[in-house]
Chains A and B, each alone.
Chain A
Amino acid sequence: MSHEQAAADLTRRTVLKASLLAGGGLALEALIPLPAGVLDAREGKSAPPAQLSAFVSIAPDGTVTIVSKNPEIGQGVKTSLPMMVADELDCDWSQVRIAQADVDQQRYGEQSAGGSTATPKNWLPMRQTGAAARAMLVQAAAMKWHVDAGELSTAKGRIFHRATGRSVSYGKVASVAATLAPPDLATVPLKEPGQFTIIGKPLVGIDSARIVKGQAIFGVDTRLPGMLYAVYEVAPAHGGRLVKADIAAAKLSPGVKHVVPIIGNGDADTGLADGVAIVASNWWLANQARSKLAVDWDLSAAKDHSSSVYRAKADAAIAAGAGTDLRLDGDPAAQLASSAKRISARYDYPFIAHATIEPQNCTARYKGGRLEIWAPSQTPQRGLETLHNALGIAPEAVTLHLTRAGGGFGRRLMNDYMVQVAAIAKAVPGVPIQLIWSREDDIRRDYYRPGGWHSFEAGIGANGDLVAFSDHFVTFGDGKTPARAAGFNVAMPPAGLIQHLHYSQSMLPTVVTTGALRAPGSNALCFASQSFLDEVALAAGTDLPQLMLSLLGERREIAAPDNRSPAFDTGRARDVIERVLQTSRWTQRPTERARAKGFAFYFSHRGYFAEVVEASVSSADVTVHKVWVAGDVGSQIVNPMGAENQVRGAVIDGLAQALTGQAIEFIDGAVQQSNFHDFPLARIPMTPEIEIAWVKSDKPPTGLGEPALPPVIPALTNAIFAATGTRIRSLPVRLKTA
């Protein structure tokens, strides 16, 4: 959507409300509808127009308080969204204080962290809110000086009348401004990019100073008078139900105050899992008492939900044929049959866990029919719905505070921990309860990135062109609908770029809970498809970047098949590919033995990313020496300090998925991994140099939490092939010792 369209959309329903702060000053509340068609947190789904509200207040001493509405999970929105307001307000960043909003849909509209959507959804509304406040302050000064507002200028929180040399601070006119009618947001003048004084500057995160001192800021740091600590013992296998619990011994364990068996609603995805809560004066004492529980679980639903069984079923599905059509363009079967060269390969990847470093946790107090919650959640508003469904607590009876979250990566899109602590708090009314999952709980009860299998086939013409392409995807689901985050992307290249293409799908049922993990779908589909296209390119006598450039062809927009997801701009794709070939000096190949570069490209979450990895292989060890990233997320990087951190983090995240051995495996629904020794994360010695180049297009800015991740994995595995001749068709990378 263009700026103009968005602005036109805003005119219709925008409401600004100004009021006087207690003690004087301006409070500006903006109820701003979002442009229709802005993406929902789940990529590819269109959301209804939502209301967004921002809240700016200016105290008589000039202090500007900006409410940050969205959850902060390390992606930097608590700093970057207020930067947009502050820049258009034209104040100095040192004047700004940021307050974390409680959850309040009526007041703030959507409050969520997911899908790299905060920047595209808020870029205009946040700036308009700041600009509106500035216009009111200017108007107040114009009235005070009996001059035309057009004669006034602003900078760093002051208003100037050059002609007479007068100036006044925002704080001095804020109370008068509060009595004025707010301007129309759709027509309030916005800065030209060249006039930005805060947007585009590398700024330190608003909470960083507290973090380095160890001050209480995360969910687990919540402390309330009389608070007790809880663990929640759930079935040892996914899909298990509680039959009988003998809690007598656990009750006598040191420090234990309450032991509460809880029968949930059996809805593992959006409800409350059965379990036994142990509440103690100290979390470690609660956790110790778990060994004293004697619980009978019904694990029958989990039988045969084992990794080996899933693999065998996937093999059978691929052997059986093409599955259900997802996309059929032209006549790929005929083209394959007649092509000069035909290649095929199978790819697969495992379930993986999010492993946020702050384990799932939540704090709650239930008193007098009201529930108060302190939650590190990415979707707190959805949490309110889940509380209602699972426990019958109406949203009006809940006060929900957002805490900073120690990582999200999609795990905290789910609110299972919130419902669990609410159930426990309800059983112990009046007592604040802090539920913390052990690391083992966290690894074993995740909403995993689902595993998947791909059977690819490609036909290459006599002139080396890719003429036909097919992918049979085996994923998880009930046969009709894929499991959460187990869907395919029918726009996946080379779709839309060649005439004859077939995408199809088969599904395996699962009791395992699955969910979105950073760049959901894309993180796996990119590995499989860009690796296979590397094989195609080599078979066609070229290389992957040249194949991609020739497939992309001339600059144009290709509409998404669903007509709702963002269109694919081949020009933007070309630009990032060409840039990374330059920055990485692609054509200069390393001369050392078993050392090479690999390339990959992907478009996800509105971001265009091309990446090159230089890696070497010695015995079975892979060393990544350097990663070059070229990314286009629009015309403006809001906070380069945070933006570069997001890209580096995404690159390291992808390298960890490939190289550390991450895989979640099941035997009869029971997760075999438990902690960082068998589900390893990246550590500092594997960190390569990472060089980032921003390709600035003229498109509105979009998000950065996710799109830099997908290409790094195939860029790495393609580099391993170039270095060794060993094609990596299965994640995690496991090389045999030479």
Chain B
Amino acid sequence: MPYRLNINGTIRRVDVPPDMPLLWVLRDELGLVGTKYGCGKGLCGACTVHVDGAARRSCQLPVGSVGHAKIHTIEHIGATVIGARLQQAWLKIDVMQCGYCQAGQIMSACALLGQTPQPDTDQIDSAMAGNICRCGCYNRIRSAIRIAAGMEEETGRVA
């Protein structure tokens, strides 16, 4: 089936079966490899993208259901104010170990700050609970979100 998808502000044409998850359209058809495969069941959040601003698991999103929705991926997120602040915060305290899940983490964090500009720890934990970091960078993920939200100064010491 031919589809016209609005991805990162550009119309991209693909010809794939309607039940192919958006994840595999992004990765294998369009070469946008920043969005990651982790579980294929919506359990780990590595494949998180934004669909009209909301965080969605692209491994659970058949391309046939996307329609005209605006899709944004990690490759584009630095062009948004919140996304750029998150990327800077991530680098300030070097959140990551292996880094594989971090695209998904940043996409979920970006959706959180879009909804809740000053989240408390419970709100952070609740919004980020769907994103697994196998390396266990969770203390720094919390800190980086607070730094991006202007709630925590980067002091060189992170919890």
Binding site for B on A (CB under 8 A): 73-76, 202-205, 207-209, 211-218, 220-221, 223, 229, 254, 281-285, 355-359, 404-409, 436, 438-439, 641-642, 644-646, 648-653, 656, 675-677, 681-685, 687, 689-690
Q: Which residues of B contact A677 (CB under 8 A)?
A: 41, 43
User: Interface on chain B toward A: helix, strand, loop, or mixed SS?
Assistant: loop
Which of these, A205, A357, A651, contacts B100 with CB under 8 Å?
A357
Asked whether, in the complex, the Cβ of A438 is within 8 Å of the Cβ of B137, the reply is no
Asked whether, in the complex, the Cβ of A649 is within 8 Å of the Cβ of B136, the reply is yes
Asked whether, in the complex, the Cβ of A202 is within 8 Å of the Cβ of B91, the reply is no
CA distance A355 to B44 in the complex (A): 11
Proximity bits, B71-112, A CB within 8 Å = 1, else 0:
001110110000000110011011011111111001000000
B3 contacts A by Cβ under 8 Å: no
Which of these, B21, B27, B87, contacts A213 with CB under 8 Å?
B87
Q: Which residues of B contact A284 (CB under 8 A)?
A: 20-21, 23-24, 28
Proximity bits, B5-23, A CB within 8 Å = 1, else 0:
0000000000011001101
CA distance A223 to B133 in the complex (A): 25
Given contacts A208-B94, A436-B37, A438-B40, contact A689 B159 (CB under 8 A): yes
Asked whether, in the complex, the Cβ of B94 is within 8 Å of the Cβ of A687, the reply is no
Q: Which residues of B contact A404 (CB under 8 A)?
A: 98-99
Q: Which residues of B contact A358 (CB under 8 A)?
A: 36, 38, 98, 100
B129 contacts A by Cβ under 8 Å: yes
Given contacts A407-B98, A684-B142, contact A213 B28 (CB under 8 A): no
CA distance A246 to B157 in the complex (A): 60
User: Interface on chain A toward B: helix, strand, loop, or mixed SS?
Assistant: loop
* Closest CB in chain A relative to B105 CB, distance in Å: 9
| 29 A-B pairs (CB sep. < 8 Å) | A74-B96, A204-B91, A207-B99, A211-B102, A212-B86, A212-B90, A212-B102, A213-B78, A213-B87, A214-B35, A220-B36, A254-B17, A282-B16, A356-B98, A357-B38, A357-B135, A406-B100, A407-B100, A407-B135, A409-B134, A656-B136, A675-B39, A675-B43, A676-B132, A681-B134, A683-B138, A684-B133, A684-B141, A685-B129
9 nearest A-B pairs in the assembled complex, by CB-CB distance: A214-B34, A74-B98, A406-B100, A652-B136, A214-B74, A284-B24, A211-B99, A74-B97, A687-B138
Asked whether, in the complex, the Cβ of B75 is within 8 Å of the Cβ of A676, the reply is no
Other than the given A212-B103, A283-B28, A357-B100, 9 more pairs (CB < 8 A) read A211-B99, A212-B102, A214-B32, A282-B16, A438-B40, A682-B133, A683-B129, A683-B138, A684-B129
Q: Which residues of B contact A213 (CB under 8 A)?
A: 34, 74-75, 78, 87
For window 111-151 of chain B, which residues contact chain A by CB distance below 8 Å? 124-126, 128-129, 131-142
CA distance A217 to B24 in the complex (A): 18
Given contacts A357-B46, A641-B94, contact A214 B138 (CB under 8 A): no
Q: Which residues of A contact B41 (CB under 8 A)?
A: 439, 675-677
Closest B residue by C-beta to A689: B159
Which of these, B35, B134, B137, B140, contacts A356 with CB under 8 Å?
B134
Q: Which residues of A contact B73 (CB under 8 A)?
A: 214
B67 contacts A by Cβ under 8 Å: no
CA distance A406 to B101 in the complex (A): 8
Asked whether, in the complex, the Cβ of A75 is within 8 Å of the Cβ of B138, the reply is no
* Closest CB in chain B relative to A252 CB, distance in Å: 14
Q: Which residues of B contact A652 (CB under 8 A)?
A: 136, 138
B156 contacts A by Cβ under 8 Å: yes
Q: Which residues of B contact A229 (CB under 8 A)?
A: 28
Q: Which residues of B contact A641 (CB under 8 A)?
A: 93-94
* Closest CB in chain A relative to B21 CB, distance in Å: 6
Classify chain B's interface size.
35 or more
Asked whether, in the complex, the Cβ of A645 is within 8 Å of the Cβ of B98, the reply is no
Asked whether, in the complex, the Cβ of B98 is within 8 Å of the Cβ of A406, the reply is yes
Q: Which residues of B contact A214 (CB under 8 A)?
A: 32-35, 73-75, 77, 103
CA distance A218 to B38 in the complex (A): 13
Asked whether, in the complex, the Cβ of B139 is within 8 Å of the Cβ of A648, the reply is yes
* Closest CB in chain A relative to B86 CB, distance in Å: 8
B31 contacts A by Cβ under 8 Å: yes
Which of these, A223, A359, A439, A651, contacts B33 with CB under 8 Å?
A223
B29 contacts A by Cβ under 8 Å: yes
Given contacts A683-B129, A685-B129, contact A218 B100 (CB under 8 A): yes
Asked whether, in the complex, the Cβ of B39 is within 8 Å of the Cβ of A439, the reply is yes
Given contacts A223-B31, A676-B43, contact A685 B37 (CB under 8 A): no
Asked whether, in the complex, the Cβ of A205 is within 8 Å of the Cβ of B139, the reply is no
Asked whether, in the complex, the Cβ of A357 is within 8 Å of the Cβ of B98, the reply is yes
* Closest CB in chain B relative to A227 CB, distance in Å: 9
Asked whether, in the complex, the Cβ of B97 is within 8 Å of the Cβ of A649, the reply is yes
Given contacts A211-B99, A648-B139, A689-B159, contact A357 B134 (CB under 8 A): yes
Closest B residue by C-beta to A210: B99
Closest A residue by C-beta to B29: A282
* Closest CB in chain A relative to B19 CB, distance in Å: 9
Closest B residue by C-beta to A254: B17
* Closest CB in chain A relative to B37 CB, distance in Å: 7
Q: Which residues of B contact A646 (CB under 8 A)?
A: 97
Q: Which residues of A contact B136 (CB under 8 A)?
A: 648-653, 656, 682, 687
Closest A residue by C-beta to B97: A74
* Closest CB in chain B relative to A437 CB, distance in Å: 10
Asked whether, in the complex, the Cβ of A212 is within 8 Å of the Cβ of B106, the reply is yes
Q: Which residues of A contact B129 (CB under 8 A)?
A: 683-685
CA distance A684 to B37 in the complex (A): 20
Q: Which residues of A contact B102 (CB under 8 A)?
A: 211-212
Q: Which residues of A contact B140 (CB under 8 A)?
A: 645, 648
Asked whether, in the complex, the Cβ of B97 is within 8 Å of the Cβ of A212, the reply is no
Asked whether, in the complex, the Cβ of A204 is within 8 Å of the Cβ of B138, the reply is no
* Closest CB in chain A relative to B123 CB, distance in Å: 11
Closest A residue by C-beta to B34: A214
CA distance A204 to B38 in the complex (A): 25
Given contacts A282-B29, A357-B98, A677-B41, contact A208 B91 (CB under 8 A): yes
* Closest CB in chain A relative to B80 CB, distance in Å: 13
Asked whether, in the complex, the Cβ of B39 is within 8 Å of the Cβ of A208, the reply is no
Q: Which residues of A contact B74 (CB under 8 A)?
A: 213-214
CA distance A652 to B133 in the complex (A): 10
CA distance A218 to B33 in the complex (A): 9
Q: Which residues of B contact A357 (CB under 8 A)?
A: 36, 38, 44, 46, 98, 100-101, 132-135
Q: Which residues of A contact B98 (CB under 8 A)?
A: 73-74, 356-358, 404-408
Closest A residue by C-beta to B76: A214
* Closest CB in chain A relative to B112 CB, distance in Å: 12
Given contacts A208-B99, A212-B106, A283-B28, contact A355 B139 (CB under 8 A): no
* Closest CB in chain A relative to B143 CB, distance in Å: 11
Closest B residue by C-beta to A648: B139
CA distance A675 to B78 in the complex (A): 32
